[in-house]
Structures are given as C-alpha cells and as structure tokens.
Amino acid sequence: MSSHYEAPIRKPLVIGDKNFHDVTVDVAAPVEGRANKQWWIVFSIALAAFLWGVGCVAYTVGTGIGTWGSNKTVGWAWDITNFVWWVGIGHAGTLISAVLLLFRQKWRMAINRSAEAMTIFSVIQAAMFPVFHMGRPWLAYWVMPVPNQFGSLWVNFNSPLLWDVFAISTYLSVSLVFWWTGLLPDFAMLRDRAVTPFTKRVYSIVSFGWSGRAKDWQRFEEVSLVLAGLATPLVLSVHTIVSFDFATSVIPGWHTTILPPYFVAGAIFSGFAMVNTLLIIMRKVSNLEAYITIQHIELMNIIIMITGSIVGTAYITELFIAWYSGVEYEQYAFLNRATGPYWWSYLLMMTCNVVSPQVMWSKKIRTSIMASFIISIVVNIGMWFERFVIIVTSLHRDYLPSSWTMFQPTFVDAGFFIGTIGFFFVLFLLYSRSFPVIAQAEVKSIMKSSSEKYKKLRDQEGHNNHSHSDNH
C-alpha cells in the first residue's frame, strides 16, 4: 500500500479524537439504534411516491405505452431521458471506488460505500425504463442472445441498444460484486456485535463467513485490486455506449464525435452531485460528521466543478463546430436548441450545468454545506434537462416540416419518473439503516496516517526526536 507518511500540510480525513474502536461504534450505531421520526417521515414519502410509480407502471403495462406522451416524431422522450439520467448518476460509485482507488485517494474511503450503493440503486431505476418501454416486459429476456425457437428472431448485434444491454448488465454485476466484497469485513463486524440471534444469523449469512484471518485479508486486497482494474474501463464504457445510442445515428444534434467522453464527464458530474445530496443529509442524520468532513464535501465540489467545466467546454465545442461544419442541418439543430420552442430547457441546462458549478471557485462557497447541497440539486436538475434537450429538441424538428411536433408528457410519464425517485430513496433509506454506510475497515487503514488524533501524536513524537518517521 501507499506510504503512511503524510505531509503536515494535509488536513486530517478523520477529525476529532477518534480511536479505532470509536470508528466501529460510530459506523454500527445507525444499524443498531432505532429509526427516528424524521427517517419514518422521509421513508413514508418515498414509499408513497414509489407506490404511485408502481400504479403508473401497472397502467402502462395494462394499457400500452400509448399512455405516455411520446408520439410519432418524438418517439423517445421521458423514458430515455430518465434512463440516461439514472445511468449517469450511477457513475460516481465506480469512479470513487475504482478510479480513486487507483489514484490512491484516501478520502474516497469515507464515501465509497454509499456511492456504490447509490450506483446500484440508480442502475436499477435506469433499467426499468427500457424494460417497460418494451410494452411487454415479460418478453424482456428477448434482448439477450439466448438460443431460441423463435425462427428468425435474434438480437441485432449492430445495434447500440444491444450493446447497452451488455454494458449495463456488466456494470451492474461488477459494481454489485465490488460493493459486496468491500462489505464482507464490515458485515462481519456487525455480526460480531449483534445481540439478537436473528441479526447475528442475517449478518453471518451476508458476510459469507468472514473470519478476519490474515489469509482473508490478503485475498480481500487482491480481489479489490483486480475488481478495481476491471471496473475502471467500465466507468468509461457504460456511458460511452449510452452515448452511442444517439451518436451512431445520423440525426443532427445526435451524431457528433465528442458525445462519448462528454457523456462520461456529464455522468460523473451528476453522480458526484447526487453523492453530495445524499451524504450531506446522511452525515447529519447518522452523526458521521467526523468521517464525512467538510473537506470531503469540498473535494467532491471540486470534482463537480471540473467535470462541469469539461461538460461546458463540450457544449461550446458542439455549438462552434456546428457552425464551422457548414452543414445546414447541423447548424439548424443547434440554433433550434438555443432559440427554438424549447429554448427554456436549453437555458436551464446551460445555467445549471455550466454556470452554477463555477461558483465553486470560491472557497467560501465550496466549503459551505448549504451552498453545496443546493448546487448538488441544481446540477441534477440541469443534467436531466441536458438529456431532455439532446433527445427531444433533436427529434421534434423532423426532416419533414409536416412532421414537426412538440412533446407533451402525460401524468403517466411523470408518475413513472416520480416512482423511480421514490424507489431510489426507499432503497437508500433501507440501506442506511441496515448496512455499514462507511467502509469502516478501510477507514481504519488510514487512521494512523490521516486522522486528527494520530497526526497530533505523530507531531509530538516528531518534535521529540526531530526526525521524520521512516516507515513505509
């Protein structure tokens, strides 16, 4: 592992006078304690939204997708917008757990568990949109190249939509394995602390018989590294392939080569915003301020600012190249985005995604919890509108002006979307009461180098013998 020596100018990642046992107690507390009133209120709201969504989906399945606002010209609208939005949000988890692991960023350890959980929950939401858009979701397995007796019916390997099926199912499985592997020692910790036989039984099943022996740890570290290596390309591949859904077509506004990396940047952008939204609340509710510090929020804000700037650069590049190309259709597509009937959604996208993250240049704002929370929500509104702008404004002006239409969502569209938000929060709230929400085993590995307590101890030691510690 990386060096235990840390420069004095680095701020501690675990603040307060915490020792190793305190970490265990603090992480186990939300699981072992009882839910408070706020939790029940939020859970009830989320559950109600979820059930409303279930109703709308049932109506869709029973009646058909004609209940949605999609029409002949705008054949794809809220369903695909929501799909891309949720998949995008799911990106931060893998980025934090895999890419930041490879870059040896110690601050990831306080947030990776929840970010990965969020990833898995949001990918589940995303997957529902294509499935229910099929109209007959019980035939969803037809998207898999299964050997069949359907005659000439076989998946189209030339279609990016099929690549999506593979990309997202790979992503979901690798994320799940990665998440669960990290959870093993922490589940075992909960198992060992459990007082009732039932909880002990449950946590011993989910911890797969973790024993805590040196051999377990060695295998754990090896598999983490291998999974990080496997997951890193997935950070790029998933949203790249989602972008191919649009970019391989010849629709002006969709067919542009910058789409793959710009979708990836946008996904990380929205994913980190969602992590900020969730963790700013969770650190407060679950008393984890010592682990998820202002510095963590600041660093996530910086990533939001950087990815926001990359996305902004891509928007401007698209606009400029559309003009530069000299292709009238291309020029019109972008002019129509900015000044056509959907100008307001373009303006929202620009303001939320390009302008709002730039305020993070001010240290005062990016270390303010309130401001971070507001911006994190603004960013996700902006990112929803980005997908809406790309999808609906590019489609609604068809090649034939006689086919020009507008898109009008129905209450079913809205209900399905609200339902997924409800479902997402139901899952996340249940998770926050039953899972160790901080990777405590990993946090303990950085206590010596990066906690306030040990930093102080080391400083005193350093003053005594006037030399830097030489441990590796």
Note the residues at the interface with another protein (CB under 8 A).
2-3, 5-9, 104, 233, 236, 240, 244, 247-250, 255-261, 309-310, 313-314, 317-318, 321, 324-327, 468, 470, 472
Q: Which CB sits closer to another protein, 247 or 297?
A: 247
Among 126, 367, 397, residue whose Cα is nearest residue 239: 126
Q: Which CB sits closer to another protein, 159 or 339?
A: 159
Q: Which CB sits closer to another protein, 9 or 214?
A: 9
Other CB atoms within 10 Å distance of the CB of residue 211:
11
Q: How far is the CB of 471 from another protein (least distance, A)?
A: 9
Q: How far is the CB of 157 from another protein (least distance, A)?
A: 13
Q: Which CB sits closer to another protein, 236 or 447?
A: 236
The b/e string for 355-390 (b: 16+ C-beta within 10 A; e otherwise) is: ebbeebeeeebbebeebbbebbebbbbbbbbbbbbb
Question: Can you tell me which residue has the tokens 């009008």?
Answer: 408
Q: How far is the CB of 346 from another protein (least distance, A)?
A: 17
Q: Which CB sits closer to another protein, 249 or 405?
A: 249
Task: Tell me how far apart the alpha carbons of residues 65 and 299 are, in angstroms, rounded to a whole number.
Answer: 43
Task: Tell me how far apart the alpha carbons of residues 371 and 275 are, in angstroms, rounded to a whole number.
Answer: 15
Q: Which CB sits closer to another protein, 233 or 341?
A: 233
Give all strands (DSSP E) within 319-371, no chain letters: none
Q: How far is the CB of 12 from another protein (least distance, A)?
A: 15
φ, ψ of residue 187 to 5 degrees: the values are: -60, -40
| Distances 15 to 291, 294, 445, 461 between C-alpha atoms, Å | 7, 10, 15, 19
Amino acid at 224: S
Q: Which CB sits closer to another protein, 26 or 318?
A: 318
Q: Which CB sits closer to another protein, 28 or 299?
A: 299
Q: How far is the CB of 350 from another protein (least distance, A)?
A: 17
Q: How far is the CB of 124 from another protein (least distance, A)?
A: 27
Q: Which residues lie below 8 Å from residue 114, measured CB to CB, with a gap of 6+?
A: 275, 278, 279, 282, 432, 437, 438
Task: Tell me how far apart the alpha carbons of residues 346 and 337 are, in angstroms, rounded to a whole number.
Answer: 6
Among 440, 436, 437, 456, residue whose Cα is nearest residue 448: 456
Q: How far is the CB of 262 from another protein (least distance, A)?
A: 8
- What is the sign of the dihedral through the CA atoms of 227, 234, 296 and 281? negative
Gyration radius of the chain over CA positions: 24
Q: How far is the CB of 228 from another protein (least distance, A)?
A: 13
Q: Which CB sits closer to another protein, 121 or 315?
A: 315
| Distances 229 to 178, 218, 336 between C-alpha atoms, Å | 11, 17, 42
Q: Which CB sits closer to another protein, 247 or 278?
A: 247
Q: How far is the CB of 273 from another protein (least distance, A)?
A: 20
Is residue 140 a contact partner of residue 134, using CB atoms and an 8 Å limit? yes
Q: How far is the CB of 252 from another protein (least distance, A)?
A: 10
